[in-house]
Structure 1
């Protein structure tokens, strides 16, 4: 593709904004258009359930890029613009207002939508979903008027929302249908610890709890639980996951993953149709750490996929994607995860875990066949950065030292790396 070719990015979120910036960084001098349905310039989504939900003064502080960036980079930002159809045969996108946008390459960065409980569709009084900045604003206003909230869903979003609500002084009930928290992301022992932490922070946590019926009422929602318990909720937040926004791509004939529903892309972000790429929550990509195609719904994944897809559009070799990394802030804990969880991983603990401590600090080191492949840090992000250098290395015999929190991890890692380059055994 020539350096003056026109590139269209559909989706004005994290992936779309980062891809546009990377295109300019790599020297692309042609037209770049970002079309997004929201009225806001691209913003970071992680703060929505935390700082934005707690403080209206944060609304203008979460932009992916600073004010003036898009104009300064000659990037056309089309806000409030919905692309309704793609015509790959003629390289044209058609918008709801009738405009046609021609492109040489197109990136789908359409993200996803909050998964909906059919009995409580969006717009039901006293019921909130949290996906956009406008959603966060409405929920924040509702929380300021409410003394109690029921959060349905014990995933990352539900936990963060419950944590913020508890911090604002609301009485919080958190309902999770599984028998433990974050079962796909955390080992059982850490899930148990987290449940203890949540309860210690004053949240009523109901695990392995199904909901048999929802009855919207004038002053809230009546919930009938599977065990027969009736629960009245003046305010309900539904946080049960995300569905990828793939309708545009599917209508254009792009291949979707048969299990996770994302737009299938290769390691360079290319879809099944030439000239069309995808990045972020909407796409499914093979991830060697997970051993298959997955949709990685994370800030880092959106950035990495956008970077690599932008390079592929221009025919530039990109650095390989970084190890999967994810973080969450909840109940006084910054939790960071590096690598990928797997039932076959064995975990060892570094540090003391006290679920009642104001700011507990410890790590879990995960090995598979003796190699370090997953690590989880609770209020220990600095140690996690030190540990990154050992990923993929055989550390099984070194775990007693690595798990001794009296030994500085930085010095341990340095010594282990030096020993790996030396024939002398430790």
Structure 2
């Protein structure tokens, strides 16, 4: 790369903004061009279903960087600018306005799109999808004028949206086709606890409820389910997942994962094409902790991949990615997770609280073949941090003490670490 051949970042979201900052932090003094299709400077998406949905005053408080950052750092931020094609061989990007940009390296940070429900596609009257700041503003306005809301989808986004709506005084019904909440992320026992809590907070929960037919009417949507029941909805939010935005990558001939659809990258976030990297929700990467390639749709993963990709573009060594970590705030609970769920993981409780407790606090520790693979904390983020050192290690001899909430967790973790150090010394 020369001083005048830019690094091109396609996508002005979390991963793109963090990659630009990392490049400057690593001493790159050349041109950086960031192109994004939205009109907003990069912002954080987690608040969209929470604080932003409840309060318009939060719109300007979720920027990834201060407004002056891009000019101060000499980063060319091109908003409302779509890259329509990449010529990987010539290292040229084509833009919607007919112009081109030659690049020395390119980072695809294109994120993803809300998965659409065929019966209620985006743009349907009375129906909302929540992916962007503009989406949140439209939904917030509609919620302020509505007395009730139906949320389709019992994943993290659907639950957060339902929680926010309930806190705003709306009558909320949440519809999920599976027989439990967050089936891929939580063990059945915690999913059942969460379902009870959702109901206790006044939300009507319909599990195992597939939609057979939808009819859009002037005053709302009439939904009919597989069991023959019907539900009228004045306002609907569809929250059934994310599809990675990979059209640009596919058009350039980059390898995509055959199952999860993400752009395949190696441990340094390099794609199958020279000088093209990918980070964030759009990419698929091998995760050593789980022995599988997967897409990790999370704020932390976007940050970590952006950091690693920036270093790789400059030929600089980078620390390995941190352990996968995710959080959600809903129904009075801050839920944090280290690692990820797996069908063969077995869980043990550390503490317990009733589903209707004002401030429940407990943890679940998940082990597989004796090794700690997944830890979930409900209103216990400080305790979760103590466990980072043990994830991936054998804790079978200490599991009972780790789960005894009368013992300080820090103490038990230190005991296990000291025992491990002693065995190495011997």
Of 226-235 and 408-417, more deviation after overlay is shown by 408-417
Aligned mates of 1:260, 1:393 — CA distance in 2: 28
Match of 2:59 in 1: 59
Match of 1:358 in 2: 358
Kept in 1: contact 2:2–2:104 (CA 8 A): no
Aligned to 1:243, the other structure's residue is in SS state: strand
Residue-by-residue CA offset, 1:114-155 (whole Å, 9 max, x unaligned): 011122111111100000000000000000000000000000
Aligned to 1:23, the other structure's residue is in SS state: helix
Aligned mates of 2:400, 2:86 — CA distance in 1: 57
Report the CA distance between 1:3 and its aligned residue: 6.4
Match of 1:274 in 2: 274
Match of 1:140 in 2: 140
Match of 1:174 in 2: 174
Give the unaligned 5+ runs of structure 1: none
Aligned to 1:90, the other structure's residue is in SS state: coil
Aligned mates of 2:352, 2:285 — CA distance in 1: 37
Match of 1:253 in 2: 253
Task: Give the RMSD, CA atoms, in angstroms.
Answer: 1.2
Aligned length: 424
Would you identify which runs of 4 or more consecutive aligned residues in structure 1 move more than 2 Å? 1-5, 418-424
Report the CA distance between 1:2 and its aligned residue: 5.3
Report the CA distance between 1:94 and its aligned residue: 1.1
Aligned mates of 1:415, 1:294 — CA distance in 2: 34
Counterpart mapping for 1:7-406 below 5 A:
7-406=7-406
Aligned to 1:397, the other structure's residue is in SS state: coil
Aligned mates of 1:100, 1:392 — CA distance in 2: 47
Sort the Cα spacing of 1:339 and 1:123 in 2 relative to 1 into closer, same or farther, 3 A. same
- Report the TM-score, using the length of structure 1 for normalisation: 0.98
Aligned mates of 2:141, 2:423 — CA distance in 1: 63
Kept in 2: contact 1:4–1:28 (CA 8 A): no
Of 89-98 and 26-35, more deviation after overlay is shown by 89-98
Kept in 1: contact 2:5–2:102 (CA 8 A): no
Aligned mates of 1:89, 1:19 — CA distance in 2: 23
- Report the TM-score, using the length of structure 2 for normalisation: 0.98
Report the CA distance between 1:418 and its aligned residue: 2.3
Kept in 1: contact 2:223–2:232 (CA 8 A): yes
Kept in 2: contact 1:299–1:326 (CA 8 A): yes
Aligned mates of 2:160, 2:181 — CA distance in 1: 12
Report the CA distance between 1:37 and its aligned residue: 0.4
Residue-by-residue CA offset, 1:222-253 (whole Å, 9 max, x unaligned): 00111111110000000001111111111111
Report the CA distance between 1:413 and its aligned residue: 1.6
Give the unaligned 5+ runs of structure 2: none
Of 287-296 and 42-51, more deviation after overlay is shown by 287-296
Aligned mates of 1:62, 1:124 — CA distance in 2: 28
Report the CA distance between 1:287 and its aligned residue: 1.1
Aligned mates of 2:387, 2:227 — CA distance in 1: 45
Aligned mates of 1:171, 1:385 — CA distance in 2: 36
Aligned mates of 2:335, 2:80 — CA distance in 1: 35
Kept in 2: contact 1:3–1:28 (CA 8 A): no
Aligned to 2:142, the other structure's residue is in SS state: helix
Aligned to 2:305, the other structure's residue is in SS state: helix
